[in-house]
Structure 1
């Protein structure tokens, strides 16, 4: 009995796609997916069966590619785990010992980031097992970069949330609103200026990780082994947290 008769057609097609994307041979991949399964099989018939199935059902290719992308994203997250999950200073809210960490890459000038604030707050209120980590990802303007530096200074001084809330409450980001938010949060501006090199290094590191993750804008979220670049309603955030929790249990 050939391999095509002992495995589902979808599995075979996925093997073919994986082999193609990885630059390997169909049979090489199949042997490692199911060692010994091809012993005595007509290898030419196996290849032809898989090829014909993919050509007849091309709709499986997007799904297979999506799964492959998710797998690669998971590897990237694992390789950069500390850089993603560890907050800078106190740039986090929720349960410090939470079993699920939701990471938001954000820009203070991003309207979608602003509109996500109520959902984040409600998520933390509803789920005592969640920790939210905020990562500065200023991509929209020079003011975004200045705000990110001040935000990192606030986090370094243990005043992230006070500054975060004050700046959003002040309206559009400007020199005046940043100064007002810094004053409201009680930021020591001399210390903030002194730590500028550290702030720049953190922003650069965040950008490097964001590029590796393929983030396409703000807000972008890292939840478990998944990445989403879009504003998400509360229901979607809760769903993602639930999936991440289930995957880690």
Structure 2
């Protein structure tokens, strides 16, 4: 009977179809799967022919299947690091509702023009949605001054003034020694304490951890986002953020 083994039979056939140009070990593994399903060689070939014909007539299922697989892999990667990703540095590197039902995580660079544009979208989001939490993670990849500003932001988090510095730094202009100092002064940072913290392994480790996580998430630039089980790269805009949040809420 051609459908012997049910879903496992189809899996075996698909395995042969997708891996027939691959290694001998892949083909052998698929044949073993077919045997385990109780399919003999004649039945296996019949199933392969049916599946091959269906795929040729409906090739759109291939990118659809790949997308589903990638989404599942992405969700698994996020779940494995969710605690690290969503926990704000020093407990203060966030804005919005600390107990929000959805956490939006933004990886950003103070030298990124799109990140500066996004700051307005985030401010509007937390003003209009009282049940969202936005966690900020420094990803200083554009220049050395990006790193300097990111370290000062972490120092501000240690002093409970993270979001004030974050907003002021973007409003002040691109990072330079003078603009970083001006933003720190404006929000009332203890500069001596900030500079002492910046020199610590804790500060440097936080930046490095963010970079490594971004690499695992395959982020290609800033801003990059993690919302629920989804990631996005780029300035998605206010409406884009709202859509990501809606999808995360629907999935909960």
The answer to whether the superposition gives a TM-score over 0.5 is yes
What is aligned with 2:230?
Answer: 226
Deviation at 1:12, TM superposition (A): 6.5
1:204 and 1:128 map into 2 onto residues whose CA distance is 32
Shift of the 18–244 alpha-carbon distance from structure 1 to 2, 3 Å rule, reads farther
Residue 206 of structure 1, aligned match among 210, 214, 217:
210
Provide TM-score, normalisation by structure 2. 0.84
User: How far off its partner does 1:51 sit?
Assistant: 2.5
CA–CA distance in 2 between the matches of 1:111 and 1:156? 26
Deviation at residue 179 of structure 1 after TM alignment: 0.5
- Cα 1:95/1:51, change in 2 over 3 Å: same
Range with greater deviation from structure 2 (50-59 or 139-148): 50-59
Report the CA distance shift for 1:162/1:80 in structure 2 as closer, same or farther (over 3 A): same
Matching residue of 1:147: 149
Question: In structure 1, which of residues 81, 94, 101 is the aligned counterpart of residue 103 of structure 2?
Answer: 101
Instruction: Tell whether 2:199 aligns with 1:192.
Output: no
**Aligned partner (choices 166, 173, 183) of residue 171 of structure 1:** 173
CA RMSD of aligned residues (A): 2.9
State whether residues 26 and 47 of structure 1, in contact with CA within 8 Å, keep that contact through their aligned partners in structure 2.
no
- What is the deviation of 1:29? 7.5
- Paired residues of 1:102 and 1:221 also in contact (CA < 8 A): yes
Q: Distance in 1 between matches of 2:123 and 2:31?
A: 51
- Partner in structure 2 of residue 82 of structure 1: 83
Deviation per CA, 1:91-140, whole angstroms, max 9, x where unpaired? Answer: 10111111100000000000001111121112112222110000000000
Does the CA-based 8 Å contact 2:13-2:51 persist in structure 1?
no
Residue in structure 1 matched with residue 56 of structure 2 by the alignment: 55
In 2, the alpha carbon distance for the partners of 1:192 and 1:53 equals: 64
Tell me how far 1:61 sits from its aligned partner: 1.9
With over 3 angstroms needed to count, the CA separation of the structure-2 counterparts of 1:56 and 1:205, relative to structure 1, is same
Runs of 4+ in 1 over 3 A off after TM superposition: 1-4, 11-21, 23-31, 38-41
| TM superposition score normalised by structure 1 | 0.85
- Where does residue 74 of structure 2 map in the other structure? 73
Answer yes or no: is the 8 Å Cα contact 2:12–2:33 preserved in 1: no
Which runs of structure 2 are paired with 1:88-127 in the superposition (5 Å)? 88-89=89-90, 90-127=92-129
Instruction: In structure 2, list runs of 5 or more residues that go unmatched.
Output: none
CA contact (8 A) 1:105 1:219 kept: yes
Aligned-partner SS, 2:89: coil
Deviations 1:35-84 (A, max 9, x none): x9x55682221222222322333332222212111111111111111110
Instruction: Provide the C-alpha distance between the structure 1 equivalents of 2:58 and 2:135, rounded to a whole number of angstroms.
Output: 42
Structure 1: 5+ residue stretches without partners: none
